[in-house]
Every structure is written in C-alpha cells, then in structure tokens.
Amino acid sequence: MPVSDPFVAMTECHFMNEQSMAEMSYYPQFQRWWGSVDGIMRVWAGRSLAGGGDMPHPRAHALIEWMDRAGVDVCFALRESMMDVAGHSTCMSTNGFILSEIAPYPDRMYLEANCGPVIRRGVKNAIWELEHLVKSGQAKLCKVYQPEDDGPLNDPRMWPFYEKAQELGVPLTIHTGMAYVPPQPSRNTHPAQLDEILLDFPGLKLIAYHMGWPYHEELFGLAAKHPNLYISISGIVGWFARAPHKGWHMIGEALEWATEDKIVLGFDLPFDDMPKVVDYVRGFDIPKDVREGWGYPEITDQTRAKILGLNLAKLTGLEPRKRVAGRK
C-alpha cells in the first residue's frame, strides 16, 4: 500500500433519524441539548449550528459522498440515543435504523452498535442485543455512552456487560472526559474509571473517545499501563485541525505514552468536515524543536498510516485495503 494513499477508517459516524428527532423536539430538554451541541461545534468544528446550520443530512447517502471526497475507505456508523432528552420515552435512532442505512454499502459501512443505556434499560436486555448483533456478524464495535445511564463506567452493575463483550471479543468504544450536553452529568465518564474495568477484564479492548479531555493525561497514563486501552481522537480532531499547536501537544503526548499502535481515528462531526480532519491526520507532523523540547516521538508515514486506519483494521478484523481513491 503506498504511503501516499493509506487505508482510512473512522469510527463514531452518527446517523440521525430525523422523524424521531422531530417527534421529541417539543421536550424542554431537547432545546437545552441542541444549544449545548452548538457550543461543542464552535470549538471542534469552528462553526455555529444555530438555526439549524448548513449541514449535510445525517444519513448514509450523504456520508458516503463525503467519504468518497475525503478518501475514507470504511466507516463505523452508530445510533444516537439521548433518551434522557425526551424523558426516556424514546430515542433519536436505533441499531435497526443504522442497519437499514448501511445496508446499501456493505463494504464501506459497518455497524458500531449502541445497546445502552445499559443499566437503565436492564443489563440482561443490553447483553442480549449485543450478543445478537455481534454473533450475526453485523456489529464490529459497540459504544458505551454512560452520560445518559444511571451510574458511572465502573458501576459494578456494568460488570456482566463488560464480561460479555470480553467473551465475544468485540471492542467497546467509550465516551470519556466531560459530558458535553445536558441533562447529562460528567461524573459518569472520567477516564480514571477505566482502570478498575481493565484490572478486572484484561482481555477487554476499550477505545476511549475524545482523548478523555480535559482529563487526557490520566487517560494517556492508563493507556501505557493497560495493553488493551486505545485512544481515539474522535471529535476533538476537529479542534486540532483548526488549532494545530493544540494537536502537536495532545497527539504528541498520547504517542509518547500509548505509542503509535494505540491511537485511532474517529469522527463525531458534521459530515462535510470529513475532508478537513482526514487531511489534517494525513499531513500531521510536529516541528523538530517542539518534539525535542517536549520529548515527543518523530512522526513517520507509518505513524500516520496506523492512526488513519491500520490500528482500527487490526482491532476490528477488517482487511485494510483501499475501497476508494485518495482525496478528491
């Protein structure tokens, strides 16, 4: 594979069921949620979504166009739950909805399941769905989004779910760091909670989303401690693309602690930001004086290729072959 056109894979590509969202839009918490999403996008994407914004539709037919433009070979698509926004009466989308969306693109889009909120819905129910989706061959990953659940990541009630994921060999993608939207508390997702989980389940593969910001240094230390803890630059990579000095230090320190074998690419941004963030990683480098002053490793073609997709291919068992030409 030429280094100029590496395999690219992205997790955390959210599809939204617009009909479901319209049906829950009259709940007061929905408006609070949408306002806080705007706050995140101002930092991560450098844009405002106020008034709806000018964004592609959050559906598979729109994403595939941006994947082609950005030279992204494979994505992992997932539902958006946010049941607490509607008083736990409904959700924004389901695993079934995602499966119907990705069906036309069998070699490009794969399911990243979300079977939560695990505790609130009943651990047995979440385990049944996880096992069904993994054994059917449809789910390559499963997200745990604890901000909307009834306890933290290291709540003992979560242990049977982690045990089943370890047994099935499915990597879990974990929201870590602050909870960005109300009515969700940040106490459920501190990256330090991953330590206890991995001490009890050393064979469980975890991918920590958003680099655990603003508690990223604790996450980096834990990734050095636990061989199956990976760091994802999902979402926050948009911030780095427009604030490169920030990226030098956060990615540099993550590489120093976790090594280039355990950093993976994620998205969690408006679809039309895909070319920008993929280009950022394709061209990522750290100036020599910064590397020498802070002890960061040299960035090589191999480093970039592993972050862009090779590490995810290894985690999910996908063949890291090109499905689409490079950047258009």
Mean pLDDT over each residue of the chain, to the nearest integer: 95
- CA distances in angstroms from 149 to 102, 155, 188, 222, 236, listed in the order given: 27, 10, 8, 24, 23
Length of the chain: 328
Report d(CA 109, CA 98) in Å as an integer.
10
Structure confidence at residue 1 (pLDDT): 38
Instruction: Convert the pLDDT of each residue in 163-194 to its tens digit.
Output: 999 999 999 999 999 999 999 999 999 999 99
Structure confidence at residue 2 (pLDDT): 40
Amino acid identity of residue 154, one-letter, is N
Return the SS3 of 207: strand
- Give backbone dihedrals phi and psi of 7, rounded to 5 degrees, phi first: -65, 135
- Give backbone dihedrals phi and psi of 160, rounded to 5 degrees, phi first: -60, -35
Spell out the domains of the chain, with CATH numbers in brackets: 9-316 (3.20.20.140)
Residue 54 above 90 pLDDT? no
What secondary structure does DSSP assign to 98-119, as a single string? HHHHHTT-TTTEEEEEE---HH
Report d(CA 46, CA 206) in Å as an integer.
29
| 9-14 vs 74-78, strand pairing mode | parallel
Q: Identify the residue whose tokens are 């679809």.
A: 271
Instruction: Convert the pLDDT of each residue in 17-39 to its tens digit.
Output: 999 999 999 999 998 998 898 88
Check if the beta carbon of residue 206 is closer than 8 Å to that of residue 228: yes
Model confidence at 53, in pLDDT bands (50, 70, 90)? low
Residue 287 above 90 pLDDT? yes
Higher pLDDT, 47 or 227: 227
Residue 214 above 50 pLDDT? yes
Q: Could you count the other beta carbons within 10 Å of the beta carbon of residue 256? A: 15
Structure confidence at residue 125 (pLDDT): 98
Structure confidence at residue 153 (pLDDT): 98
Higher pLDDT, 325 or 291: 291
Check if the beta carbon of residue 257 is closer than 8 Å to that of residue 218: no
